[in-house]
Chain A
């Protein structure tokens, strides 16, 4: 039972998977259907029989009452999204990802009007060394999708998370610490999986003008994964 609707599931499926299959959107950022669940952004937190847990890492079970679209949960999701905004440096108007960015789209979906919390303004490195890929750590939300894609799909282990706590940061697999000194290819899954503008392909700026991009016209609930060919319902 999800928000009062009975939803079918297969044995071993997570709540997120069962919901997605039934066309029900649960806000998320670190989850991606092609990759092993991670459970770090916590946006998909739902009430599972009264106990809170991440929909992406908890298995669906028969007869369990799951609540997702409640005012209280969405208020908490909004706060988490605002936390992600203030811990990094996100300047949407000057970001090439604007309109295709899932962080921005989730913020729109949840009705975020201000960052609410005091900005951290962290000093984060930009790495433009790679010929084809820009690494803009100011926009990284530590979802580890690139880490998983590079390790599990590309078989390269190019990305990792270094440091601890609020000082956690995206690191790359080279002694110099530069992306150019890794074997990242523009064709790698890791190069295109980033939900924000932290890993972005060079020389593609404004190919699609702002105003005609995915989330300029669709709520993220309709297209939860950028890159899927068809909106789930229209």
Chain B
């Protein structure tokens, strides 16, 4: 949290072992210490790392948080999820810009401050929120922004800002086995070592634990397959790139239950025979980094990480395992496991061609387990308390508990831990959302359900979810919700495959056309066709699901679209009268004859 210094490039590169695979981390450190990544830095890095400049530029230009031009001493990014918008983000952003005498996306005249938007930053329960030089400030209102403007005006270094601006409560409204029970660090590891790896894997299997990132792949199957795969080394990777708008459960788990997560990773390491683990923490959670590093340090002191864990020696040798934290840099796609691995290897986060899957060919092309934060937390609990205990919760196909991140139109947004099988209606009652009209389950890539479907259940066999639960009341315009999500996907598409690169932008443009009152039934059909192509032909899950919000809201809330359609057959995208605007400005005319007649 310092002001920008002169950049110690050789020092940064040395800290990351001169390894080009750590390029994203190197660029992050350059960006954080210098405030920019200028073009000549890319040349110097190319020399220091001995890789072609073009590869460094490819990575540097892929991630949203890297930029070559200066954003001043203070870079302010407003979270732009629909939940932030509902909480008054646009007005507050304008308010701050006026206080600071600047325009968004333009460095202030004095070169001091820059204001822009960014994708959801994982604080939907405390919206609207923003990042200042990468550090999250939640629960914005005019009073807090007055304070921020004043601190900037007097050029107070970020490290000296009042800590209360950065306080982020967990908001655990309904605790459960993961969030409500005390956990003694080492308990799961001791149980694992005394039980043995085969038996531990059998417990994970009988627990019927399935991946908590949303896809629900069986964890024991993944671990067993990775364990069997041959390689020079095995790796454990924890996916903490919690980028799905409306999801913030991993933020809470890492803030208050990091030991549980790290212990789950260590149990996995023991089972698959890994010596190194990596936690890929989304850049937006930069504020958690020091805390997590200190949890790791404590675990090393206690003999729960590092060499000879718990002094254990057996026929397989010592139990050595350590965990390194890597930070993301503003790219939702890195939540996709193979894109995440690419990013860990210093490349742009573009999903790989699969198969092979990471369990056989992952980080550094070695067998790798990639699991979600919550999955590792569950694994630790199962290792400690056994598979039967876990499988007794939830439904037959969806065992255990699930953390739900509730936000939007309700009285008590925050974290709710339920056994799988809970109905949407129950969650709505618990969070105080009497007026709910729609819920977006599992974020933009998930499922939009209307008030007619509130008896559906949170479970892999019904509503699979990574945890987001965004509530919309009767007053909300579901068209605008979907439009926000199309902008999100167009911004986050990695650009690798044709259907997603072009299709997400076509969808966004068509939704904007409708919003401008220029839509017709033709555009509705066009969007359905683009959805069909995205679902069938896109390279990864981002593209497959990118049209879901549009298609589902079209189906469930047709009135939100119909009242926007100008004609029912066709309306061109090109605005003939709008094209004359420049001519009107030049001639200073705005009379009736300077406009085309509406036919």
Residues of A within 8 A of B (CB): 37, 39-43, 45, 52, 54, 57, 76, 79-80, 83-84, 86-87, 117-118, 120, 141-142, 157-168, 171-175
Chain B positions within 8 Å of A166 at CB level: 490, 493, 495, 501-502, 504-505
Chain B, 457-504, CB within 8 A of any chain A CB: 490-499, 501-504
B481 to chain A, nearest CB (A): 21
Return 27 A-B CB contacts under 8 Å, by A number.
A40-B498, A41-B498, A42-B498, A43-B498, A45-B536, A45-B537, A52-B536, A76-B532, A80-B499, A83-B506, A84-B502, A118-B506, A120-B505, A142-B501, A157-B55, A160-B57, A163-B495, A164-B493, A165-B495, A165-B504, A165-B505, A166-B495, A166-B502, A166-B504, A168-B495, A168-B501, A173-B54
Given contacts A83-B498, A165-B501, contact A171 B54 (CB under 8 A): yes
* 14 additional A-B residue pairs with CB within 8 Å, beyond A42-B538, A141-B498, A175-B43: A39-B497, A40-B496, A40-B539, A80-B533, A87-B501, A118-B506, A161-B495, A164-B348, A164-B494, A165-B492, A165-B493, A166-B490, A166-B501, A167-B495
Chain A positions within 8 Å of B181 at CB level: none
A82 and chain B: residue at smallest CB distance? B502
A142 touches B495 (CB 8 A): yes
The 6 closest A-B pairs by CB, nearest first: A168-B495, A160-B54, A157-B52, A83-B502, A173-B54, A162-B61
Partner of A42, one of B42, B63, B497: B497
CA distance A19 to B456 in the complex (A): 46
CA distance A175 to B362 in the complex (A): 32
B168-195 vs A, CB cutoff 8 Å, 1 = contact: the mask equals: 0000000000000000000000000000
B53 touches A175 (CB 8 A): yes
Partner of A37, one of B54, B353, B497, B529: B353
A171 touches B61 (CB 8 A): yes
Given contacts A80-B537, A165-B505, A175-B43, contact A158 B54 (CB under 8 A): yes
CA distance A4 to B63 in the complex (A): 45
CA distance A54 to B353 in the complex (A): 10
A135 to chain B, nearest CB (A): 13
B62 CB within 8 Å of chain A: yes
A117 and chain B: residue at smallest CB distance? B506
B54 touches A157 (CB 8 A): yes
What bracket does the count of chain B residues touching chain A fall in? 35 or more
B44-67 vs A, CB cutoff 8 Å, 1 = contact: the mask equals: 000000001111011001111000
A83 touches B499 (CB 8 A): yes
A79 touches B62 (CB 8 A): no
A160 touches B502 (CB 8 A): no
B58 touches A161 (CB 8 A): yes
| Of listed B55, B494, B498, B505, residue having the most chain A CB within 10 A | B498
A47 to chain B, nearest CB (A): 9
Chain B positions within 8 Å of A39 at CB level: 353, 497, 539
Chain B positions within 8 Å of A57 at CB level: 353
Chain B, 28-82, CB within 8 A of any chain A CB: 39-40, 42-43, 52-55, 57-58, 61-64
Chain A positions within 8 Å of B491 at CB level: 165
B123 to chain A, nearest CB (A): 23
B573 CB within 8 Å of chain A: yes
A206 to chain B, nearest CB (A): 31
B287 CB within 8 Å of chain A: no
Chain A positions within 8 Å of B499 at CB level: 42, 80, 83
Chain B positions within 8 Å of A167 at CB level: 495
Residues of B within 8 A of A (CB): 39-40, 42-43, 52-55, 57-58, 61-64, 331, 348, 353, 490-499, 501-506, 509, 529, 532-533, 536-539, 573
A172 to chain B, nearest CB (A): 7
A79 touches B533 (CB 8 A): yes
A179 to chain B, nearest CB (A): 12
B58 and chain A: residue at smallest CB distance? A160
Partner of B61, one of A41, A80, A163: A163
A83 to chain B, nearest CB (A): 4
B63 to chain A, nearest CB (A): 8
CA distance A227 to B361 in the complex (A): 35
Chain B positions within 8 Å of A168 at CB level: 495, 501
CA distance A87 to B54 in the complex (A): 23
Chain A positions within 8 Å of B573 at CB level: 118
CA distance A79 to B501 in the complex (A): 13
A86 and chain B: residue at smallest CB distance? B502
A80 touches B498 (CB 8 A): yes
B512 to chain A, nearest CB (A): 11
A52 to chain B, nearest CB (A): 5
A123 to chain B, nearest CB (A): 15
B57 touches A79 (CB 8 A): no
B348 touches A76 (CB 8 A): no
A40 touches B497 (CB 8 A): yes
A173 touches B52 (CB 8 A): yes
CA distance A60 to B63 in the complex (A): 36
B394 to chain A, nearest CB (A): 29
Chain A positions within 8 Å of B64 at CB level: 164
CA distance A42 to B534 in the complex (A): 11
CA distance A141 to B532 in the complex (A): 22
Chain B positions within 8 Å of A159 at CB level: 54
Chain B positions within 8 Å of A172 at CB level: 54
| Of listed B40, B497, B529, residue having the most chain A CB within 10 A | B497
B40 touches A175 (CB 8 A): yes
A169 and chain B: residue at smallest CB distance? B61
| Of listed A41, A141, A158, A166, residue having the most chain B CB within 10 A | A166
B43 and chain A: residue at smallest CB distance? A175
A165 touches B537 (CB 8 A): no
B349 and chain A: residue at smallest CB distance? A164
B495 to chain A, nearest CB (A): 4
CA distance A157 to B63 in the complex (A): 21
B365 to chain A, nearest CB (A): 14
Chain B positions within 8 Å of A158 at CB level: 54
Chain A positions within 8 Å of B495 at CB level: 142, 161, 163-168
Chain A positions within 8 Å of B505 at CB level: 87, 120, 165-166
B576 to chain A, nearest CB (A): 15
Chain A positions within 8 Å of B42 at CB level: 175
